[in-house]
């Protein structure tokens, strides 16, 4: 026995609802905001806005309004273009920035799924995409979000260290995800219109994200 519990986190998708969540329902608590960087923002948006939002096993809550764009360190150039960011000289990360309801339980489930659909062990790299703009980053808008994200990241690292997650699909066993407070970062800048909801409009478009494992291992 590894001393870990296996918690089913994947395979709980609704195959009927393809619309995603566009509105924040009453009763799920006040809306919060979050920014996630997991490589190319086309896939990050798709996997959170549609795949995660459609799961039938999520705690009460919804994904609300959001967009893809860029966040970087304080002092980074304002309103960069996609081409500017791709040079690697601006320090910005491609992110999906969005609102959600459901509070801490929903946010924690979302962070766990974030670690399932991308590889957090590859520094500034996802699949064929290489560069600082493809960093694995969670931009937190509240101290509670930061506490949850750090705890889940450590839980994942502990599982990898103990061998309790042998089929993670990751390229290494060292989690490289950075957790940052949005208040300590640059403002969020929305990317050009052509990048918004890209994979919903181009279903066969480029994406290197996938659900790498379906069971979350908890210490």
Q: How far apart are CA 202 and CA 185, in angstroms?
A: 31
**Residue of 34, 40, 140, 207 marked catalytic:** 40
88-107: buried (b, 16+ CB within 10 Å) or exposed (e) per residue?
eebbbbbbbbbbbbbbbebb
Biggest alpha carbon distance in the chain? Answer: 52
* Dist CA 185 CA 125 (whole Å): 21
State yes or no: is 40 an active-site residue.
Answer: yes
d(CA 125, CA 112): 20
Which residues are identified as catalytic? 40
């Amino acid at each position: 026995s590894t001393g870990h519990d296996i918690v089913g986190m994947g395979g709980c998708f609704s195959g009927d609802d393809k619309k995603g969540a566009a509105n924040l329902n009453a009763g799920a608590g006040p809306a919060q905001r979050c920014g996630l960087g997991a490589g190319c923002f086309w896939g990050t948006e798709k996997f959170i806005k549609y795949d995660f939002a459609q799961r039938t096993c999520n705690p009460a809550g919804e994904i609300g309004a959001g967009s893809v764009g860029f966040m970087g360190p304080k002092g980074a150039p304002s309103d960069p273009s996609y081409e500017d960011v791709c040079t690697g000289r601006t320090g910005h990360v491609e992110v999906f920035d969005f609102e959600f309801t459901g509070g801490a339980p929903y946010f924690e489930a979302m962070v766990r799924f974030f670690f399932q659909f991308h590889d957090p062990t590859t520094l500034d790299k996802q699949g064929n995409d290489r560069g600082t703009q493809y960093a694995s980053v969670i931009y937190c808008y509240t101290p509670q979000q930061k506490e949850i994200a750090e705890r889940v990241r450590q839980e994942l690292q502990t599982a990898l260290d103990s061998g309790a997650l042998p089929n993670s699909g990751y390229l290494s066993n060292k989690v490289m995800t950075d957790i940052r407070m949005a208040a300590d970062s640059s403002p969020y800048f929305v990317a050009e219109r052509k990048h918004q909801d890209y994979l919903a409009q181009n279903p066969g478009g480029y994406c290197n994200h996938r659900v790498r494992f379906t069971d979350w291992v908890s210490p």
